[in-house]
Amino acid sequence: MPPTDKELVMYSRSTPCPFVSVARRVLEREGVPYRELLIDRNKLYEARVLEWTGFLSVPTLVVAWRGEELPFEPPAPLPRGESPRGIDRGSMLTEATEEELLAWLRKHAFLP
């Protein structure tokens, strides 16, 4: 049962991306509700992802308080210039494999 005080927010883009396709497929298959924010259609969303990851890395998934767009707690820092790919940063996960995403969703109680 998903947490009632938190929700999943996926920072994504409208153009094709294999990591976004994996995330959408997993979330839809598992019935996990999420809100998608497109970084190529909103400069604020783009700036957030760049600040958080150092790149325009999508999808960047965050666990947010319900109705909000920012992580419910600051994500663990990344070493400067290092890829965020697949690194569990607590409230944030970027460019995850299916296995990494499933483990992260379980950790945050979006999956049993």
Check which CATH number belongs to the domain holding 39 and give it.
3.40.30.10
How many structural domains compose the chain?
Answer: 1
Whether 35 maps to a domain, the answer reads: yes
pLDDT of residue 1: 53
Whether 112 maps to a domain, the answer reads: no
List C-alpha distances in Å: 48 to 1, 31, 59, 69, 99. 29, 27, 12, 10, 25
Mean pLDDT computed over 72-83: 91
Provide the residue range defining the domain that includes 67.
6-107
Q: pTM score, two decimals? A: 0.94
DSSP three-state, residue 90: coil
Whether 1 maps to a domain, the answer reads: no
Task: Kindly report, residue by residue over 23-35, the tens digit of the pLDDT.
Answer: 999 999 999 999 9
Whether 13 maps to a domain, the answer reads: yes
